[in-house]
Amino acid sequence: TGAFLSVRDLHVSFRTEDGAVGAVNGLSFDLDRGRTLGIVGESGSGKSVTNLTILGLHNPMFTTIDGEIVLDGQELVTARESELEKLRGNKVAMIFQDPLTALSPYYTVGRQIAEPFMKHTGASKKAAWERAVEMLGKVGIPNPKERAKDYPHQFSGGMRQRAMIAMALVCDPDLLIADEPTTALDVTVQAQILDLLKDLQQEFGSAIIFITHDLGVIADMADDIMVMYAGEAVERGTVEEVLRSPQHPYTWGLLNSMPRLDSDLGTQLAPIPGAPPSLLNPPSGCRFHPRCTFQREVGGTRCVDVSPLLPPGRGGACHLTAEQKQTIFIEQIKPR
Binding pattern to Mg ion, positions 35-54, x when CB under 5 A?
-------------x------
Residue 288 touching ligand SF4 (CB under 6 A): yes
Alpha helix stretches (DSSP H) within the chain: 47-54, 81-87, 109-121, 125-138, 144-147, 157-169, 187-204, 215-221, 239-244, 249-256, 295-298, 302-305, 322-328
Among residues 94 and 298, whose Cβ is nearest to Mg ion?
A: 94
99 contact, one of Mg ion, ligand SF4, none, CB 5-8 Å limit per kind: none
289 contact, one of Mg ion, ligand SF4, none, CB 5-8 Å limit per kind: ligand SF4
Residue 249 touching ligand SF4 (CB under 6 A): yes
Contacts with ligand SF4: how many residues (CB under 6 A)?
14
Q: Which residues pair with 88 in a beta bridge?
A: 92
Among residues 182 and 295, whose Cβ is nearest to ligand SF4?
A: 295
Residue 292 touching ligand SF4 (CB under 6 A): yes
What is the footprint of ligand SF4 within residues 297-316 (CB under 6 A)? Answer: 298, 303, 308
Rounded least distance, CB 121 to ligand SF4, Å = 48
Among residues 48 and 108, whose Cβ is nearest to Mg ion?
A: 48
Q: Which residues, 6 or more positions from 182, have their beta carbon under 8 angstroms from its beta carbon?
A: 161, 189, 190, 193, 194, 217
Residue 212 touching Mg ion (CB under 5 A): no
Q: Which residues pair with 232 in a beta bridge?
A: 229
206 contact, one of Mg ion, ligand SF4, none, CB 5-8 Å limit per kind: none
Question: 305: buried, middle or exposed (CB in 10 Å: 19+, 13-18, 0-12)?
Answer: exposed
Task: Give the span between the Cα atoms of 29 and 71, in whole angstroms.
Answer: 12
Query: Quick one: which segment of 16-24, 201-209, 292-300, 327-335 binds ligand SF4 (CB under 6 A)?
Result: 292-300
Task: Give the span between the Cα atoms of 92 and 261, in whole angstroms.
Answer: 36
Q: Which residues, 6 or more positions from 218, have their beta carbon under 8 angstroms from its beta carbon?
A: 38, 40, 210, 212, 225, 239
Residues interacting with Mg ion, by CB under 5 A? Answer: 48
Residues interacting with ligand SF4, by CB under 6 A? Answer: 248-249, 286, 288-289, 292, 294-295, 298, 303, 308, 318-320
